Structure 1
Amino acid sequence: MTPVAAQPAVGHPHWWRLAAYGLLGLPLAMAALPVYVQVGAYYSMLRGVPLAQLGWVLFAARLLDTLQDPLQGHIIDRLRNGIGRWLALGGAVLALAFAGLWQPPAGNLAAAVWLGAMLVLAYSAHSMLNIAYLTWGARLNGGGTQRDSALLPAAAWREGAGLVGMIVASVIPATIMSGDAERIPARMALYSLAFAALLLAALLALLKLAPAWPAVTERAGGWRSTLRRMASNRAFLRLLAPYFLNACSVSLPATLALFFIRDRLHAAPLAGAFLGCYFIAAACGLPLWTALARRIGVLPCWRIGMALAIASFAGAGLLGEGDVLPYFAVCIAAGAALGADLAMPPVLLAELIGTGEAAGAYYGVLTLLGKLALALSGLALPLLAALGYKPGVAGGAALALVYAAVPCLLKLLAMAALWRFHPASMPVVRYWSSP
């Protein structure tokens, strides 16, 4: 693909409008990280839900959530003036479900059932917001001849705000979880209230200050028409395998991070510092990845990010008790690589969607694969239980293998899938604009 010339784009949104668009990434990350990282340890270690039972609940809830994403994307493509009501409904359900997650009833079975119900509600509401949000960003310039000019800066604002939310979500909940067990529900209730307030503010900014919800030039057709168009998009189909493998490589260590820190490193009080360091490194690295993508293209930039992630994480499984400083180094390097994983795939996908096509359906498939990866990562818990691992007991080779070695293998497979592409089969676009 011919690089975009370094000239102003027609109708390019002002930076503050892109910032207003990106703000929603912060509360979405504030909710997503505790749900995907802390909730397993919370119900296992503090509520007594057996590890195998917990793993199957996480898997079932995530799998159910996965199946609804393409449908939600199709509905979003058919929205005209109802986007405000759609976002308001999703925001209200997400705020209530997130607060409910941390207030389970007494008893192992009752807590497990409650967890499943709250996860289904939280996942569904998060999808309502996230798919609409990604679709909004993909359409920012309305499909003009230079519509790609706003994609990378919009993604940078969105993922940058998301990384700030991840930093907040990694430090505060982890600090709460490492404190007095009896006070955790009350403190998480306060965190949930702060999250709800930020979510309301971000939604208002999106609806009132961001570039308007773009008008669709063509009304989305039925399912058959949408599927036919997606199935004929070969470059899109080629993106799915590497994206899914890469998502698996990220979600697996995210599910097991707190178990590894506590039982392998014996450094549970530092869990918040480790996670915070990881996401701060990602936030610092994101502008560098954005600048690199402008120079060499989005696809090569993603490949380099994958290579850095493998190089930084490969030795994590060799760490043991007391290896705090080496693990901080792993967190910094792996976190720096995360920015490429976050920002590049949505921009690549936006470049693969033809003018007038149903962007929501495409992003529904992409989020489906991400959530399927998260669902499969939940099966790591019953796998570890079958291998003899017990939470609270010093972790052995099984925990290190599943936490570190398997993700590196998955990342290598994702890189191999990307390298199979002919250069003309994927967009390699340089961007002049900046956030």
Structure 2
Amino acid sequence: MHTSDDNIRRFNGWQLTCFGVLTAPLAMGGLAMAMYLPTYYAVDMGLGLGLVGAIFVLGRLLDIFTDPLIGHWSDETHSRYGPRKPWMVAGVLGFSIAVYLFLAPPDAVGPAYLLLASGLYFLFYTILDVPYSSIGLEVSPHVDERSLLAGSKAIFQVVGAVLAAALPFILGYSVGEALNAIAWSIIALCFIGLILFLSFVPTPVRAIESPRLTAIAALKSVLSDRRYRYLLGSFLIVQTANSLVAGLMVLYVIHIVGATELVGLFLGILLFSSAVFLPLWIYLSKRYSKRTSWMTAILLCATALALVPFVGRGDVTAAIIVSLIIGSTFGADAIMPTSMLADIVYEKERDGNNRLGGLYLAVKNSVSKLSFIVPMGLAFPVLGYIGFEKTGADGPNAMLTFLFFYSALPILLRLTALYVLRIGPDFIVEQKRDSAIA
């Protein structure tokens, strides 16, 4: 006999906070890796852009294979504390060591050191993140509460990214000194977040009645879900569009808007607007549906991107407004797919079925990482070939080429995702309104 979902206690504000805190150090590490570390190892350490770029891409490609394995192994783990917590403890310990090696290297290092440090970083990031995030898919039977759990993680993701971006400027440190400070901040927040999570986040352990699955059988089970395939396809398309916009934002501000000194402001607008508008997307998901909320955000972002060609050099106010609208939709792109996935996972695992949340999430993570590799392998080489970084928007056809990658292609991708979501199956049989808000 199973307890009715209506009788299971909801998370209070403190528990939602404690659930999300551990996302902050992960976000700090992610931003440091994207913003500071490539240039630091390539220029300050003298390893060269080509070698550093190749090592970083290799790490991301390896993630595509290790993420599903970690997800499956955490699904199949049996312990008195549940399947995820032992992995989280091991992940925090290993990630803390890897962060120190990666962000605070000795004065002189070679390619072998970077390969080892980055490899450990990527591996232990996955060991910590996949089991931790999987709990968010499984822990609540309430449809709307899953959006709140995803929203808590999204808010702390912004907090972590802002801390990592602002810390060097606040402290007035050099890049090397700032990376050292960021490393120790990440380590401290990891342990604080883990303690808060283990102490205050209720994570009931569900008994598994089905026989164990091999990794191949589990992957086949996950990919056989038609709803998941449509969700995964939509997520890949939207993330690919977002990676183009986020990756080219700096070039847009410098060469199109002509406001080099405001690069930090524009990046901050993207981060803050994604957090500020989260309540709107959660409200729309409760009022209508999660798919409707996400589709609204997709269409709004495409509309904002369509305005980009009309913003010229010196149009700072217009560029800020457009970037604010674009950033406001990033929150929906983050929490709605995760919350919809939680609905699928909870329904799939209900009534003693196999635990598959870790694998579901890990495959989604692999797709997300792939989406950030492919566009950069397309847009940057083309822009480099035409010399955009040297001539800017003044070169022959340079403006049209840049706008294709920054505006036209992301619009096309988002409209494609909108169509996929529109023709896709229902992602969950929604709970009755009165039970969902009881």
Q: Any conservation in 2 of the 1:255–1:378 contact (CA below 8 Å)?
A: yes
Q: Partners of 1:216 and 1:10 in 2: how far apart?
A: 16
Task: Report deviation, 1:386.
Answer: 4.8
Q: Any conservation in 1 of the 2:85–2:131 contact (CA below 8 Å)?
A: no
What residue is the counterpart of 1:166 in the other structure? 161
Range 329-338 or range 388-397, more displaced: 388-397
Task: Report deviation, 1:321.
Answer: 4.2
Q: C-alpha offsets along residues 180-236 of structure 1, whole Å, 9 cap, x if unaligned?
A: 8xx211122112211221121111111121113633434642124313322332211
Match of 2:175 among 165, 184, 195: 184
Q: Greater RCO between the two (CA within 8 Å, min separation 6)?
A: 1
Aligned length: 418
Q: 1:47 to 1:405 in 2, by over 3 A?
A: farther
Range 205-214 or range 340-349, more displaced: 205-214
What residue is the counterpart of 2:138 in the other structure? 139
What residue is the counterpart of 1:374 in the other structure? 372
Give RMSD over aligned pairs.
Answer: 3.2
- One-letter amino acid matched to 1:95: S
What residue is the counterpart of 1:344 in the other structure? 336
What residue is the counterpart of 1:130 in the other structure? 129
**1:17-96 alignment, distance < 5 Å:** 17-40=15-38, 55-81=53-79, 83-96=84-97
- One-letter amino acid matched to 1:209: F
Range 388-397 or range 340-349, more displaced: 388-397
**1:5-404 alignment, distance < 5 Å:** 9-40=7-38, 55-81=53-79, 83-102=84-103, 115-141=114-140, 146-148=141-143, 150-172=145-167, 175=169, 183-212=174-203, 214-218=205-209, 220-316=212-308, 319=311, 321-353=313-345, 354=348, 355=350, 356-357=353-354, 358-380=356-378, 383-384=381-382, 386-389=384-387, 391=389, 394=392, 396-397=398-399, 398-404=401-407
Q: 1:256 to 1:132 in 2, by over 3 A?
A: same
Task: Report deviation, 1:350.
Answer: 1.5
- One-letter amino acid matched to 2:420: A
SS for the counterpart of 2:93 is helix
Q: 1:214 to 1:32 in 2, by over 3 A?
A: farther
Q: 1:347 to 1:394 in 2, by over 3 A?
A: same
Task: Report deviation, 1:258.
Answer: 3.1
TM-score with structure 1 length normalisation?
A: 0.84
SS for the counterpart of 2:139 is coil
Q: Any conservation in 1 of the 2:308–2:322 contact (CA below 8 Å)?
A: yes
Q: Any conservation in 2 of the 1:283–1:339 contact (CA below 8 Å)?
A: yes
Q: C-alpha offsets along residues 254-273 of structure 1, whole Å, 9 cap, x if unaligned?
A: 33333443444443432222
Q: Any conservation in 2 of the 1:139–1:214 contact (CA below 8 Å)?
A: no
TM-score with structure 2 length normalisation?
A: 0.83
Structure 2: 5+ residue stretches without partners? none
Match of 2:412 among 374, 393, 409: 409
Q: 1:48 to 1:389 in 2, by over 3 A?
A: farther
Q: Any conservation in 2 of the 1:65–1:123 contact (CA below 8 Å)?
A: yes
Q: C-alpha offsets along residues 288-347 of structure 1, whole Å, 9 cap, x if unaligned?
A: 111111100101101001111112233335645434322221221111111111110011
Structure 1: 5+ residue stretches without partners? 1-6
Q: Partners of 2:406 and 2:17 in 1: how far apart?
A: 35
Q: C-alpha offsets along residues 155-204 of structure 1, whole Å, 9 cap, x if unaligned?
A: 2222222222233334445x489x88xx2111221122112211211111
